[in-house]
Amino acid sequence: MDEGLSRRDLLKKAGLGGAVFLGGSVLGHSVQHQALAAADEGYTNPGTVGHSTLHEGGATALYGDIYSPPAALGPDDLDGQTFPPVADRLPAGSTREIEIAVEERLIEVGNGAHVEAWTYNGSVPAPILRAKEGDLLRVHFVNRTGNPHNIHFHGSHLPEQDGWEPVPPGGETTYSIEAGPSGVHPFHCHTAPLAEHISRGLYGMMIVDPPRGRPPATEVALLLSGFTIDEIGRNGIVAWNGVAGFYHNHPIKVPVGEPVRAYVVNMLEHEPLASFHLHAETFDVYPAGLGDTPVFREDTIVLGMGQRAMIEFTLPTVGRYMFHPHQHWLAERGAMGWFAAV
């Protein structure tokens, strides 16, 4: 266990040594995003105060101390999880080699809240995977822990490549999966007891692009999950992309008047249902990201465990648009966030 590593170090490490598609960047973010960040330098959420006040006895943090992000995390430190990598252009039917190692890490999921996590490639959630429909994924899996683990992908693939069989400590295997259908699919450990293996951090999302791609948009990834803090079987912290309150303190900047596409995944263990609610605007919903026409339009979608959606919207005026699960006890444990249309 690398107890000396901060969350920031881990994210950096994941960016350098995480799952790698040969010929493509996994954790890069778009040029467009960089331009937005530059245009809105110094944006802060006026409703949030630092944690030090709380430690000195003043209960001024909006949702409590551990529900704020670690003090060491800066506004850009979650970019690798927030902005999915752009799919590289390989010929149709290409093979992508992916390395995934299970490692134990002490991670900081909220301000001062540390979790003994089981991770894919050092981060929770795992680095985002991206492929094109029909690509052959060769997933080289190594278990560098003292417990059995594995990796099971949602979507369609051969049943013998389904990843439910445990890989023993020190063991390795290779899964061969044809990416598809196009959409957004979670992957997670499927070793018993499942609730523990998932709530300790073994999950992530894979975005599968249709062969001809999708229309241009600013793309955002939002994976909801939870962490055990003081009571087994209960989410002491609930977070988007693994860090409590991150998007509350650091709104996700998107361009005003331009299309936004968000991949929203629910991996929240111990809760029968979660949801995603956007304030002040509605969005088109593609359940599981399937198909190329939206199925309905909403401002709130309900997601069971493992369910996900691709949503598309345009924020018409400059301002902050709140998002959170509409189960407010989940929002208040760290899953509040904002889009900032700039």
Q: Which residues bind Cu ion (CB under 5 A)?
A: 149, 189, 191, 197, 202
Least separation, in Å, of the C-beta of 168 and Cu ion?
11
User: In the bound complex, what is the minimum distance in angstroms from residue 26's beta carbon to Cu ion?
Assistant: 21
Q: Tell me how far, at minimum, the Cβ of 189 lies from Cu ion, in Å.
A: 3
Nearest distance from residue 93's CB to Cu ion, in Å?
A: 31
Contact, 221 vs 263, CB < 8 A? yes
Kindly tell me which of 154 and 197 has the beta carbon lying closer to Cu ion: 197
Q: Is the link from the previous residue into 193 a cis peptide, with omega within 30 of 0?
A: yes
Burial of 113 (0-12, 13-18, 19+ CB in 10 A): buried
Q: Which residues contact 85 (CB under 8 A, 6 or more apart)?
A: 21, 24, 25, 26, 27, 28, 29, 128, 130
By C-alpha distance, which of 173, 164, 228 is closest to 192? 164
Report CA-CA distances (Å) from 336 to 60, 159, 325, 339.
16, 38, 8, 11
Q: Considering beta carbons, is residue 78 or 189 the nearer one to Cu ion?
A: 189
CB 168 within 8 A of CB 144: no
Are 10 and 105 in contact by the 8 Å Cβ rule? The answer is yes
CA distance 146 to 325: 35
Q: How far is the CB of 153 from Cu ion (least distance, A)?
A: 14
Nearer to Cu ion, 129 or 252 (CB): 129
Q: Which is nearer to Cu ion, 203 or 323 (CB)?
A: 203
Minimum distance from CB of 148 to Cu ion (Å)? 7
Taking the least distance from each CB to Cu ion, the nearer of 202 and 309 is 202
Which lies closer to Cu ion via its Cβ, residue 84 or residue 125? 125
Helices assigned H by DSSP within 18-84: 31-39, 52-55, 79-82
